[in-house]
Amino acid sequence: MVVTFSRISINCDRLDRHLAELAEIGKLPNGGVCRLAFSDADVQARSLIKTWMLEAGMTVRGDAVGNIIGTYAGTESGAALATGSHIDTVPVGGRYDGCLGVLAGIEVARVFHENQFRLRHPFEVIVFSDEENSVIGCKAIAGNASTDSERYRRKDGTPIQDCLAKVGGNWEALSSAKRDRHDIAAFMELHVEQGGVLEALDKQIGVVTGIVGQYRFMVQIIGRPNHAGTTPMTMRKDALVAAAQLVLAINHLGMLGNGEQVATVGYLKVSPNATNVVPACVDLSIDLRDLSEENLQFMIAQIEQECQAIAKNTGTEITIEQKLHVLPTLAKTELMAVIEKVCQELKLSYTHLPSRAGHDAQEIGRFTDMGMIFVPSREGISHSQDEYTSPEQCAQGANVLLHTLLAIDHCYP
Ligand SMILES: [Zn+2]
């Protein structure tokens, strides 16, 4: 792909002002933001976003799951180049997670608008519904949302039908939100890293190689409870000893090879959990993440073998139950190459890295070309009131987004 360079640039102060203004909606006393999906704060923020989209010369529509789609017309019709992210937060979130991607997209449209410039392609900014919880917005666009409404019932009991109606959606029309690569030729998401790699390497931009896949398992180890004093060591079936061996084996798997994969036991329940009883039963969780589904499968096979061996040498019974499987989504190689080239032109330092957190781009990348741009998170902190990315870093990311869109406008039919 050939990258020809234009001098236009996003407005750093304006982007920063809008990030601050959006953060006022749902602002917490500690400086964080609570803007849960479908809450009153979310509705208020959606309204502000629509206003900003209109100011930027976009037309605005909503779909059946309440995704907001702002379109800045191209000189030609046909498939769009799209960007976007989310404006909902976790209960105590920051002002950058998701919001940066949305506001940078609108800022790009503003720059086009004030320069009376149009891409060949229609340019879309999408605000995805409920990224932080059900991910229903991007899943519905990818055609992967569940049709079981109970799965989307909120913790407080509110049915998803009511939630969607509140943001202009319609559960009955769920399938109408689906789109394909004839609608969206490519999707680029700008996001804060939410980890500490860029800061540690002193790089300004992260060229995301993909969003990792994930497996989650619950493991049950059944031993035999017995008196901790009278039961000889050779006559025990100690479930916790078996669990300890498994925890170490899983950690070892995570450390193998290039160490790109991560493997975690984060939950452990010991029964009866008493000082003077040989442990009878342990429930534990396994969380595996990697960009390579093949490597994930390899790790699972290794864990199954370990479990068999551990069960044998500890006299326990071990069962494994799969609880979650999310396939990885790889970024399009050509889009990564354009982002790199843009970084070079803008004299921004960069590195490649996978995303180990989920993003809207993970679902959109299942049906069309996907690329992601990361900017640093101070001390790697996110989902917290302490989340921070400087105005300059936000603007650098938005500029990479802008110039990547300009470059790929000529690459797609
Ligand atoms: Zn996010």
pLDDT digits (tens, 9 = 90+) for 188-204: 999 999 999 999 999 99
- pLDDT band, very low/low/confident/very high, at 147 (cuts 50, 70, 90): very high
pLDDT of residue 5: 54
Q: 386 C-alpha to center of ligand 1: Å?
A: 15
| Domain regions of the chain by residue span | 12-211+329-408, 213-326
Q: What is the pLDDT of residue 260?
A: 81
Average pLDDT over residues 124-141: 97
- Coil, helix or strand at residue 144: coil
Tens digits of residue pLDDT in 7-54:
789 999 999 999 999 999 999 999 999 999 999 999 999 999 999 999
> Which of 77, 139, 80, 127 is CA-nearest to residue 358?
139
Q: How confident is the model over 255-272, as a mean pLDDT? A: 90
User: Separation of 88 CA from ligand 1 center, angstroms?
Assistant: 8
Question: Is 0.95 surpassed by the pTM of this model?
Answer: no
What share of the chain has pLDDT > 70, as a percent? 98
Which percentage of the chain shows pLDDT scores above 90? 96
CA–centroid distance, residue 87 to ligand 1 (Å): 8
Q: Please report the beta strands in 193-267, taking only residues with DSSP state E, as ranges in sequence order.
A: 205-211, 213-222, 226-227, 262-264
CA of 165 to the centre of ligand 1 (A): 23
Please state the rounded mean pLDDT for residues 247-255.
Answer: 96
Residue 7: its pLDDT value, please?
77
Cα Rg, the chain, nearest whole Å: 24
CATH superfamily of 12-211+329-408: Zn peptidases (3.40.630.10)
Tens-digit pLDDT profile for residues 279-288: 999 999 999 9
Q: What pLDDT is recorded for position 259?
A: 64
Q: How far is the CA of 368 from the centre of ligand 1 (A)?
A: 20
Q: Residue 359 C-alpha to ligand 1 middle, in angstroms?
A: 6
pLDDT 10s digits, 111-125? 999 999 999 999 999
* Greater model confidence, 413 or 289: 289
Q: Residues 299-315: what's their mean pLDDT?
A: 97
Confidence of residue 2 (pLDDT cuts 50, 70, 90): very low
- Helix, strand or coil for residue 277? strand
How much distance in Å is there from the Cα of 263 to the middle of ligand 1?
A: 22
| DSSP letter, residue 332 | P
Q: Which two tokens stand for residue 370?
A: 């996907």
Q: Please tell me the class of the 213-326 domain.
A: alpha beta
As a whole number, mean pLDDT of residues 105-112 equals 97
Alpha-carbon gap, residue 412 to 354, rounded angstroms: 25
Please state, in angstroms and as integers, the Cα–Cα distance from residue 372 to each residue in 139, 191, 301, following that order.
18, 7, 31
Angstrom CA distances, 13 to 9, 20, 29, 50, 391, stand at: 12, 11, 25, 20, 7
Task: Indicate the average pLDDT of the chain.
Answer: 96
Report the separation in Å between the CA atom of 401 and the middle of ligand 1, taken as the mean of its atom positions: 16
Owner of token pair 């860029």:
198
